Amino acid sequence: MDVDAILRSLHRRTAMSWRELGAQAGTSHATLLAYAHGRVSPTAATVERVVHAGGFELEPALVRRLPDAARRGRELEDVLALAEQFPARHAPVLLAPVFGR
């Protein structure tokens, strides 16, 4: 969970000052700023409390992690190399509608 991004987004969307948001959440604005800039990691309960204080709900979701970019790039190269091995018969004239006329 990217807590600092969540808190910065919450701050923008509520149009509350950090002091107001901190007062609503029962914490100081300095602590919220430390969370929002990634200097301190809050607990999940604290994040939920701050988000609720801003009038929002968190909706956690389990999302499958994608492989790293280099691995995906190699996989794409392998798929394209495999595709080149299949025979292809292309028509001498492309039968497709002409757009823009």
User: Whole-prediction pTM value?
Assistant: 0.61
Q: Of 62, 65, 45, 63, nearest to 53 (Cα)?
A: 45
Q: Could you tell me if residue 100 is left (phi over 0), alpha (psi between -120 and 50 degrees) or otherwise beta?
A: left
Query: What is the Cα–Cα distance from 7 to 4, expressed in whole angstroms?
Result: 5
Report, as an integer, the average pLDDT of 14-40.
95
Report, as an integer, the average pLDDT of 89-98.
82
Query: What is the Cα–Cα distance from 3 to 46, expressed in whole angstroms?
Result: 11
Question: Tell me: the pLDDT tens digits for 36-93?
Answer: 999 999 999 999 999 999 999 999 888 877 778 888 888 999 999 999 888 888 888 8
Which of 1-10, 18-27, 66-75 has the highest mean predicted lDDT (pLDDT)? 18-27
- Enumerate domains of the chain plus CATH numbers: 1-84 (1.10.260.40)
Could you say which DSSP state residue 38 is in?
T
